[in-house]
Amino acid sequence: MSGIWGNNLKISIFGESHGVGIGLTIDGIPSGFPIDLERINCEMERRAPGRNNLSTARKEGDKIEILSGLFEGKTTGTPLCGMIRNSDKRSKDYSKLKSLMRPGHADYTGNIRYDGFNDYRGGGHFSGRITAPLVFGGAICKQILESYGIKIVSHIKSIGSIEDESFNPVNVSDTLIEELPKMELPLINKALDNDIRNEILSAKSEGDSVGGIIECAIVNIDAGIGNPFFDSVESTLAHLLFSVPAVKGVEFGEGFNITKLRGSEANDEFYYDGDKVKTRSNNNGGILGGITSGMPVIFRVAIKPTASILKKQNTINIDEKRNEELNIEGRHDPCIVQRAVPVIESVAAIGILELLKGR
């Protein structure tokens, strides 16, 4: 079933964008682990809508109600379930979308897949709003991973034509690990902040949208985690990353650029730093043969421009079986990249914990 994922760590998601609520159940969390609820709330706020003029005006607190699996501040070991109740709904904005298919959305494919019974309001179960429960699950997994010393951090690599610097692939600084999660626009080069804002607001003023790239680093992860072939680190993370709406590309290490290198350049040469094995470069993104090498796991994801835009578009009316023009109403993000940063970190945390439990 599409709403269930994992073997050693099982997660299931539920809900629709304009339904009563959305949520996640996660099974396989160890018992007796203390959960910092304040840290969960901070992660939820990083993704939440309505924070500024760079995102949708929809106001949702994204406050989690933990329904089970937590007692006296510690996990019980039984399935942990969290729910977010939807409050700021304007379902009437979507009434005409029962028959008019939004370009770039899953309206048409969802209608075909579910024989017209899909909830089309706000994208229903296909909505990016369903990533909020993933952030809840990821926030818990992050805390558990940190007990192993593992940390996950991301930044905006690019939005439109504006491009940030890259992580140092062999040594992600502690300063960045500490500072980036606190930034509204997490950038290595802070001087690009205004340029990024102007890029987003320019698209917004034209009734359009813009996409970008997120770069993520998983640091302090030991060598030997993962498996070859079907349960490799890459395949596990890619499965989850491509589950995030709007993700259209994933690459590890040098990714497609590695094809431009000779083997002598692409190979990451080993050396001993004391008794610890390291590599002088990290073109393979900290993964060899599907297994972690002990170097930072570095990957990037491509986020497409928000599909809902104010510009008039051509589409189809599936009830009347004819071509029409569409003006989308409602409240939509001109760019979702900045809100997707904690989502990408969260699914990475879920994937790494799944692999750790399988060792």
DSSP letters for 97-129: GGTBPPTTSSHHHHHHHTTT-S--GGGGGGSGG
Can you say whether residue 234 is alpha, beta or left, with left for phi > 0 and alpha for psi between -120 and 50 degrees? alpha
DSSP state of 182: G
d(CA 315, CA 318): 10
127 is in an annotated binding site: yes
331 is in an annotated binding site: yes
322 is in an annotated binding site: no
Q: Say what the alpha-carbon torsion angle 144, 179, 134, 297 is, to the nearest 10 degrees.
A: -70
The 3-state DSSP class for residue 278 equals: strand
CB 285 within 8 A of CB 299: yes
209 is in an annotated binding site: no
289 is in an annotated binding site: yes
Task: State how far the alpha carbon of 59 is from the alpha carbons of 28, 48, 62, 257, in Å.
Answer: 33, 8, 9, 40
25 is in an annotated binding site: no
Amino acid, single-letter form, for residue 335: C
307 is in an annotated binding site: yes
Q: Any bridge partners for residue 299, and if so which?
A: 216, 252
Helix (H) or strand (E) holding 299: strand 297-303
Helix (H) or strand (E) holding 199: helix 193-205
280 is in an annotated binding site: no
Q: Which residues are annotated as a binding site for FMN?
A: 125-127, 289, 304-308, 331
Q: Which residues are annotated as a binding site for NADP(+)?
A: 47
Q: Which residues are annotated as a binding site?
A: 47, 125-127, 289, 304-308, 331
